Amino acid sequence: MYPFIHIGHLSIGTFGILLWFAAVGACWVLYRNFRRFGLDADAISIVAVVAICGIIGSKLWHVLETPVELWHHPVDLLFNRAGFAWYGGLLVGIAALLWQGRVYKIGALRMLDLAAPSAAIGYGLGRLGCLISGDGDYGKPTHLPWGIAFPHGLVPTTGPFGTCAEWGWPSSCRVQPTPIYELIVALFIAWILWRRSAPGTRRPLGQITGEYLILSGIARFLVEFIRINPRILWGMSNAQLASLGSIVAGIVLIGWARHRAARITAKTQSQAPESQIQPT
């Protein structure tokens, strides 16, 4: 693995490069979504704002998970190149999208629905940064033939103090390449959302966002069973607890979206002239 690319005295983090690549992929998908709906909005500016806000949110979520360590080493935690939590970025990114939906007069909920496939693509491609840098987002030791070793990662697996040794495995063991699993699932989720949000499908506003929260939450909850994150409550990791919150939020959002759409339809029909009401 290659956490950094060294050019003379300059070191460039590969995670940052892949994060940029993820933003480009998400931007392209959002642009294509705007085009198929005939919307005039700047996908590049929208993704740039969301990406910056997401990075800040994911960093804050990560450091707040360890308040004691943050208290003793605030500068090291806040400004090191490792340590980002997806759900922190998701929450702040959603807030940024809601605001931009109003700015571009698209509508807050509609902007979220339009951005859902882009979010899935961005997340999946971003996981390649975790893979290349070896930042510890990999899984448990495994005998599977596609297992990968990260001897030079930011969080190495091999060596006397590596992850393999911590789990009581031989110091040269391989681990589950969970970022690759997450990339594959994220691409599948993006494909599902893209097809379900096609023009003419007439989904209630907010439903696609709810489906994204449910699908991404299920995917993250399941992959955590083979990751190395510590368990903090009822045998679940912090990410699994957040995933359950995402699933519940998605279910509530879909229920609310359908109820809202039904209420608007009923109100429209009640206000229509009798000549426009079709006989039953």
pLDDT at position 56 = 81
Of 1, 24, 4, 246, nearest to 126 by C-alpha is: 24
pLDDT at position 279 = 47
Summarize the confidence of residues 133-138 as an average pLDDT.
84
Measure the CA angle with vertex 216, ends 210 and 218; round to 5°: 100
pLDDT at position 244 = 95
Please check the confidence at residue 66 and state whether its pLDDT lies above 70. Answer: no
Please check the confidence at residue 265 and state whether its pLDDT lies above 60. Answer: yes
CB 176, CB 226: distance < 8 Å: yes
Per the model's pLDDT, the better-predicted residue between 10 and 162 turns out to be 162
- Whole-angstrom distance, CA of residue 98 vs CA of residue 109: 7
Tally of CB atoms within 10 A around 242 = 22
Highest mean pLDDT among 63-67, 90-94, 123-127, 248-252: 248-252
Q: Any idea where the domains of the chain sit in the sequence?
A: 4-139+176-261
Summarize the confidence of residues 27-38 as an average pLDDT.
94
Category of 235 on φ-ψ map: left (φ > 0), alpha (ψ -120 to 50) or beta: left
CB 15, CB 36: distance < 8 Å: no
pLDDT at position 280 = 38
Mapped onto helix, strand or coil, the DSSP state of residue 231 is strand
Please check the confidence at residue 20 and state whether its pLDDT lies above 90. Answer: no
In angstroms, what CA-CA distances link 42 with 45, 49, 91, 142, 224? 6, 11, 22, 45, 36
- Whole-angstrom distance, CA of residue 263 vs CA of residue 280: 19
Prediction pTM value = 0.85
Please check the confidence at residue 98 and state whether its pLDDT lies above 80. Answer: yes
Please check the confidence at residue 64 and state whether its pLDDT lies above 80. Answer: no
Token reading at 196: 């379900």
